Amino acid sequence: MEQTFIMIKPDGVQRGLVGEIISRFEKKGFSLKGLKLMSVERPFAEKHYADLSSKPFFHGLVEYIISGPVVAMVWEGKNVVITGRKIIGATNPSDSAPGTIRGDLAIDIGRNVIHGSDSIESARKEIALWFPEGVAEWQSSLHHWIYE
């Protein structure tokens, strides 16, 4: 099974959307393997977004992520990276379809509620960065009702 990193950004936490977002991944059939509420320090945020450091919006993005607590999660399931991105919606909420998290819950690109790994490789790197202690190893008793 594949794993992905999902982060509810400060605006999603402040707006009380944590439960709804978790519910969408659970209802799909994915398994929560790691979860923590945390405040992000600047050096850590800069490391997470290092691949965007040359972009003009990098400083603002870092300021946004350190502005309040985030919820960091690891989800597991078949094709969870690509399916997770579909659940989340396009980076720009105005380009996100209704029914997606960003399509339903966000308006501005700078307050787009959630981050999700965009590839298996980035998921591995992000999980290692955010969960160096590892994640829970368990299987839901519903597994056989979700997967063939």
DSSP, collapsed to helix, strand or coil, labels residue 73 as: strand
Please tell me the distance from the alpha carbon of residue 105 to that of residue 89, in angstroms, as a whole number: 10
Task: Give the chain's domain count.
Answer: 1
Q: Is residue 18 part of a domain?
A: yes
48 is catalytic: no
**Residue 15 labelled as part of a binding site:** no
Q: What is the pTM for the complete model shown?
A: 0.95
Please tell me the distance from the alpha carbon of residue 83 to that of residue 64, in angstroms, as a whole number: 26
**Residue 91 labelled as part of a binding site:** yes
Please tell me the distance from the alpha carbon of residue 67 to that of residue 10, in angstroms, as a whole number: 7
CATH code at position 77? 3.30.70.141
Name the catalytic one among 48, 59, 115, 144: 115
**Residue 27 labelled as part of a binding site:** no
**Residue 111 labelled as part of a binding site:** no
Q: Is residue 144 part of a domain?
A: no
Q: What tens-digit pLDDT sequence spans the chain (148 residues)?
A: 999 999 999 999 999 999 999 999 999 999 999 999 999 999 999 999 999 999 999 999 999 999 999 999 999 999 999 999 999 999 999 999 999 999 999 999 999 999 999 999 999 999 999 999 999 999 999 999 999 9
Q: Is residue 143 part of a domain?
A: no
**Residue 79 labelled as part of a binding site:** no
DSSP, collapsed to helix, strand or coil, labels residue 67 as: coil
Q: Is residue 139 part of a domain?
A: no
Residue 69's domain spans which residues? 3-134
